[in-house]
Structure 1
Amino acid sequence: MSEQASSSTSVAPSKSATPAADDVDIEKLLNREATAFQREIEVERILKAFKLNPYEILDIDESAKAEEIKKKYRQLSLFIHPDKTPHARAPDAFDLLKKAESELSDEAKREELDAVIKQARVVLLKGMNLPTTLEDSDARLKSITPSWKQQLRAKSKEVLIEEEVRRRKAVKMNLANEGLEARKKEEEVMAKKRKAEDEATWEAGREQRVGSWRSFTSSKGKKKKQKVAILG
């Protein structure tokens, strides 16, 4: 009886250990699936982000410091790296992250972007009859709906689109002006070429014209001599 009791007590741990191991495997599988799903979601978020606002692509605050931007870029680029993410457009999302980080690392480009966002901020605050010097942490901005961050992103998008339209029009106009200038120069070159060709043609026919004139004057002189001889 004691042997049976001891054998039954020795078997019990092995029976309880199997479900525990299965639970761990299931948990790992669920975590992997959750992580894969989160990667897919993040790729979609990046692809849908407003392309003219690198802050939105990186999902980082406009006040972020350079080292914070680089850190966020490294985190996201590793998280949605095409080697780890089966999403078909993961490479596109990865490229967008890289471009966003590059633009925010360029001091001149970031200053230009920040100026546009500041302009959007001023427009929003004026529309709310609030001081334009108000800090984002002010209590008056904490309770508004939609949130201040959402409204600022939306207004920044509007202003950035307006700026981009103006920029493209300016580029188009410059190209048109350059094309007009190029046509003028081409016409000037062609006019000079025609003039040179006309002068060359004139010079080429000069000897012939001189010869014809000499022949004409010579034959005229002979006729006069013949006439004088007849009269004499």
Structure 2
Amino acid sequence: MAPSPATEPISPKAPKAQNPEPSSSKGETSSSVKPTSKVEQPLSTDELDKLLSREASALQRDVEVDRILKAFKLNPYELLGLDPTCTPADIKKRYRHLSLFIHPDKATHPRATDAFDLLKKAEAELSDQAKRDELDAVMLEARAQTLKANSLPSGTNDTDSRILALVPSFKEQIRARARDILIDEEVRRRKAIKMNLANEGLEARRKEEEVATKKRKAEEDARWEENRDQRVDSWRSFNAGKKKKKNKLNVIG
């Protein structure tokens, strides 16, 4: 048999060399990577709505403050934006709502405090039944004058078509006439106060003059009493001189 060819030993295949990952220290990484700037994200729809709502609320507060400041100060109904037919509960509710809405701690308007004080005064006047009765009487008179000016019967209802067709509106005309009445009353009130003060001033001056006259007379009486002895001595001296002169004339004669 022919000898089998000698087989050479097969060496194991060496594994393929893999590309080694570049090793880098932490220090190298931080120095080689550039920091990325933070990208501002756009506001969401909800955030925009909230922002716009806050801005709108601030604007509405300023508008309401201006309305109160421009309202007719002698009519609490105008200041509170109420109708004369409102109830005491309506007044308190309206005041509470407005006072919270335009409170100086919330409103940015520079005269929010003035508007707040006006609201407080208006609520106090309408809560005083006597003062409200006087104001209601003015409003009724203004209504009667408005009906008469428009040639309408005194019993005409507010829902009457003729009332609804008025321009300016019936309520606006009533408010305007109420202003005229209230202004006239305020002018008369101030004149009366001025006259009373003038009368009080005249009375005060009269009393002062009376006191001064009495004081002056008392001082004159006191001086008269103080000079009594001096006057008596002067009179005695004068009489004595007259007697001596008479006796001297008799001797010569």
Shorter-chain TM-score tier: 0.7 to 0.9
Please report how far the alpha carbon of residue 72 of structure 1 lies from its aligned counterpart in structure 2 after TM superposition.
Answer: 0.2
Give the one of 49, 53, 69 matched to 1:27.
49
The aligned residue for residue 190 of structure 2 is 168
Give the one of 134, 137, 145 matched to 2:156.
134
The aligned residue for residue 93 of structure 2 is 71
The amino acid across from 1:129 in the alignment is S
State yes or no: 1:193 paired with 2:215: yes
Please report how far the alpha carbon of residue 224 of structure 1 lies from its aligned counterpart in structure 2 after TM superposition.
Answer: 5.6
The amino acid across from 2:216 in the alignment is R
Give the one of 235, 238, 242 matched to 1:216.
238
The amino acid across from 2:95 in the alignment is Y
Please report how far the alpha carbon of residue 137 of structure 1 lies from its aligned counterpart in structure 2 after TM superposition.
Answer: 3.5
Q: Distance in 2 between matches of 1:206 and 1:135?
A: 90
Q: Which has a greater percent of helix? A: 1
Please report how far the alpha carbon of residue 49 of structure 1 lies from its aligned counterpart in structure 2 after TM superposition.
Answer: 0.5
Please report how far the alpha carbon of residue 180 of structure 1 lies from its aligned counterpart in structure 2 after TM superposition.
Answer: 1.3
Q: Distance in 2 between matches of 1:103 and 1:169?
A: 22
The aligned residue for residue 158 of structure 1 is 180
The amino acid across from 1:66 in the alignment is P
Q: Could you give the per-residue CA deviations for residues 150-188 of structure 1, whole angstroms, max 9, x where no partner exists?
A: 111111111111111111111111111111111111111
**Identity over aligned pairs, percent:** 61
Distance 1:189 1:65, change over 3 A: same
State yes or no: 1:91 paired with 2:117: no
Q: Distance in 1 between matches of 2:170 and 2:249?
A: 115
The amino acid across from 2:55 in the alignment is E
Q: Distance in 1 between matches of 2:116 and 2:168?
A: 30
Please report how far the alpha carbon of residue 219 of structure 1 lies from its aligned counterpart in structure 2 after TM superposition.
Answer: 4.1
The aligned residue for residue 5 of structure 1 is none
The amino acid across from 1:201 in the alignment is R
Give the one of 202, 222, 245 matched to 1:180.
202
Please report how far the alpha carbon of residue 25 of structure 1 lies from its aligned counterpart in structure 2 after TM superposition.
Answer: 1.3
Q: Distance in 1 between matches of 2:65 and 2:218?
A: 65
Q: Does 75-84 or 102-111 show the bigger shift? A: 102-111
The amino acid across from 1:107 in the alignment is Q
The aligned residue for residue 3 of structure 1 is none
Q: How many residues align?
A: 212
Q: Could you give the per-residue CA deviations for residues 18-43 of structure 1, whole angstroms, max 9, x where no partner exists?
A: 99x81111111111111111111111
The amino acid across from 1:142 in the alignment is L
Report which of the two structures shows the higher radius of gyration computed on alpha carbons: 2
Please report how far the alpha carbon of residue 223 of structure 1 lies from its aligned counterpart in structure 2 after TM superposition.
Answer: 5.4
The aligned residue for residue 81 of structure 1 is 103
Q: Could you give the per-residue CA deviations for residues 191-222 of structure 1, whole angstroms, max 9, x where no partner exists?
A: 11111122112112111111111223344445
Q: Does 177-186 or 39-48 show the bigger shift? A: 177-186
Q: Distance in 2 between matches of 1:167 and 1:90?
A: 29
* TM-score of the pair, normalised by structure 1: 0.83
The aligned residue for residue 8 of structure 1 is none
The aligned residue for residue 122 of structure 2 is 100
Please report how far the alpha carbon of residue 227 of structure 1 lies from its aligned counterpart in structure 2 after TM superposition.
Answer: 6.8
The amino acid across from 1:214 in the alignment is R
Higher RCO (C-alpha under 8 Å, 6+ residues apart): 1
The aligned residue for residue 3 of structure 2 is none
State yes or no: 1:46 paired with 2:68: yes
